[in-house]
Amino acid sequence: MDQPEKNPTIDKVNRGLKRRYRAERRFRILGATAILTALCFLFLLFFSIVSSGYKAFEKTFIQIEVFFDPAEFTNENLAAANFPGLIKASMNSMFPEVTSRKDKKDLYYLISPGASFQLMKQVKNNPALIGQKELIWVAANDDVDMLLKGNIDRTRPESERRISDKQLGWLDTLAHDGKIKKTFNTAFFTSGDSREPELAGIWGATCGSFYTLLITLSLSFPIGVAAAVYLEEFAPKNRWTDIIEVNINNLAAVPSIVYGLLGLAVFINFFGMPRSTPLVGGLVLTLMTLPIIIIASRASLKSVPPSIREAALGIGASKMQMVAHHVLPLALPGMLTGTIIGMAHALGETAPLLMVGMVAFIVDIPHGFTDPATVLPVQIYLWADSPERAFVAKTSAAIMVLLAFLFLMNAAAVLLRKRFEIKW
């Protein structure tokens, strides 16, 4: 071949090169686009949650001057006094020009129904208030809150918004007098659920989540580790262990709602355990997280090199001593990492808990494993279903808190892995 440039194969290849490189580039761009799309979704998700939720961390208060009329406190029981009446009276004295019955009702509407409980608490803590005049900041109604945060459009016709023109006027007067303020919403973190958005908080759900996870952790960690140790270190290789293994892998992929059905049929109907309690919720979540923990623990045990086992056996340790003194301590960080990830999973789980009745409307803060309770994700679900506009912001805020918890747990898992990971 003295004229290699005339080689027909090379020509053919060269002719196709441009097209092939184009295809290559196209494919590469496609791949990058796929990742960017996924990340875009992630960003959009966070953006929509944060933008609709950050306002819920602020709360609007209105200052009123309350006269604790001694005539109202004749009864021995201070709680029997007419606290709503006190608030109405103070509103009347602030706006003496409001006379008609309907207008008065609209005026009282500006103050949250929770304000009378606030007064009651203050009087209980300090009975010396009776007979005095006090300036007090009380929570505003959720519609007022929404208006001041810009979620209700003032320019729309009166019939289309929940705050009337008159109420707007009163609020403007109050704002002008410096009697409206927005502060950090501590009630959101310290109170239980409520029908009134301005009073609702996540503390009750947080406590419920805490008790539920406590049960889950204290059951699933020991059982999971024990099962993993048995399967990895002691189990004879026979049909039974095979069945258990396949079983565990399948259980990890069973839809979570099926665990809810199990909890309903077995724990509640068969064993008669109390509904809506962290006890039952924790048991259901235990069954759900157990496979996750077993699988992670087995992987962790597998990564301990056999030389450790042989060395321990070689100096005369029994099998149990070899596992308890050498293998288990080395595998423990990995097991803990898996457990934290399983717990994070359990913290975010909703569906099975709906089945065992943790979806009830519960105002009280739970104080034990058998008190009716709800958990954070279920609280989010309940609020997301509420019609009030203000609950949208609350839901997003609760989601932010939940995500913060999850972030902390996962960060702890990563830290643990980084700190104790041993490369053999």
Partner 1 sequence: MRTPYLLITIAVLACGSYFLGRSRAFAVAKGCGGVKGLHSLPGHYGMWTALWCAVPALLVFAIWNAAESPIITALVVAGLPAEISSLPPSKLGLIMNDIRNIISGNITSGDPSPAIIKAAEHYRALQMISVDAMSAVILSIMVAAGLTIRTRISPTLKARNKVEKLVQLLLFLSSAIAILITVGIVLSVLFESIRFFKVIPLSDFLFGLSWSPQTAIRSDQVGSSGAFGAVPVFAGTAMIALIAMLVAVPIGLMSAIYLSEYAGSRFRTIAKPLLEILAGIPTVVYGFFAALTVAPFIRDTGGLFGLSVSSESALAAGLVMGIMIIPFVSSLSDDVIHAVPQTMRDGSLALGATKYETISHVIVPAALPGIVGGILLAVSRAIGETMIVVMAAGLSANLTANPLKAVTTVTVQIVTLLVGDQEFDSPKTLAAFALGLLLFVFTLVLNIIALYVVRKYREQYE
Q: Site residues for partner 1, window 312-351 (CB under 8 A)?
A: 318-320, 344, 347-351
Considering only 247, 329, 411, 422, the residue that binds partner 1 (CB under 8 A) is 247
Least separation in angstroms between residue 197's CB and partner 1 is 16
**For partner 1, which is the closer residue by CB, 144 or 340?**
340
Stretch near partner 1 under the rule CB under 8 A, chosen from 85-93, 144-152, 196-204, 264-272: 264-272
Tokens 């020009």, residue located: 97
Can residue 395 be called a binding residue for partner 1 (CB under 8 A)? yes
Q: Whole-angstrom Cα distance, residue 391 to residue 394?
A: 5
Least separation in angstroms between residue 185's CB and partner 1 is 20
Stretch near partner 1 under the rule CB under 8 A, chosen from 82-90, 128-136, 176-184, 395-403: 395-403
Restricted to residues 151-190, the positions that interact with partner 1 (CB under 8 A) are: none
Can residue 387 be called a binding residue for partner 1 (CB under 8 A)? no
**For partner 1, which is the closer residue by CB, 24 or 158?**
24
Restricted to residues 349-378, the positions that interact with partner 1 (CB under 8 A) are: 349-351, 354-355, 359, 377-378
Strand order through the sheet with 133-139: 133-139, 58-67, 180-184
Measured at the CA of 407, the angle between CA 402 and CA 411, to 5 degrees, comes to 155
Total residues binding partner 1 (CB under 8 A): 87
The neighbouring-strand residues paired with 65 are 135
Least separation in angstroms between residue 267's CB and partner 1 is 10
CA distance readout (Å), 241 to 8, 38, 236, 264, 303: 63, 40, 7, 29, 20
Can residue 396 be called a binding residue for partner 1 (CB under 8 A)? yes
Stretch near partner 1 under the rule CB under 8 A, chosen from 117-125, 139-147, 328-336, 399-407: 399-407
Considering only 1, 71, 128, 253, the residue that binds partner 1 (CB under 8 A) is 253
Least separation in angstroms between residue 423's CB and partner 1 is 18
Restricted to residues 217-236, the positions that interact with partner 1 (CB under 8 A) are: 222-224, 226-231, 234-235
- Whether the CB-CB separation of 345 and 292 falls below 8 Å is answered with yes
Can residue 92 be called a binding residue for partner 1 (CB under 8 A)? no
- Whether the CB-CB separation of 406 and 347 falls below 8 Å is answered with yes
Considering only 50, 120, 129, 406, the residue that binds partner 1 (CB under 8 A) is 406
- Whether the CB-CB separation of 373 and 212 falls below 8 Å is answered with yes
How would DSSP label each residue in 198-256? TT--SHHHHHHHHHHHHHHHHHHHHHHHHHHHIIIII--SSHHHHHHHHHHHHHTTS-H
The neighbouring-strand residues paired with 103 are none
The neighbouring-strand residues paired with 59 are 183
Restricted to residues 5-24, the positions that interact with partner 1 (CB under 8 A) are: 13, 20-21, 23-24
Can residue 259 be called a binding residue for partner 1 (CB under 8 A)? yes
Q: Whole-angstrom Cα distance, residue 297 to residue 332?
A: 8
Considering only 11, 14, 38, 165, the residue that binds partner 1 (CB under 8 A) is 38
The phi, psi pair for 411, rounded to 5°, reads -65, -40
Least separation in angstroms between residue 294's CB and partner 1 is 7
- Whether the CB-CB separation of 356 and 288 falls below 8 Å is answered with no
Can residue 98 be called a binding residue for partner 1 (CB under 8 A)? no
Q: Beta strands of 11-108 (E only): which ranges?
A: 58-67
Least separation in angstroms between residue 88's CB and partner 1 is 30
**For partner 1, which is the closer residue by CB, 184 or 361?**
361
Provide the angle, in degrees to the nearest 10, between the axes of the packed helices 390-420 and 8-53.
120
Provide the angle, in degrees to the nearest 10, between the axes of the packed helices 328-347 and 390-420.
170
**Per-position x/- string for 270-309, each x denoting binding to partner 1 as judged by CB under 8 A, each - no binding:** --x--------------x--xx--x---------------
Can residue 146 be called a binding residue for partner 1 (CB under 8 A)? no
**For partner 1, which is the closer residue by CB, 183 or 269?**
269
Q: Whole-angstrom Cα distance, residue 111 to residue 66?
A: 13
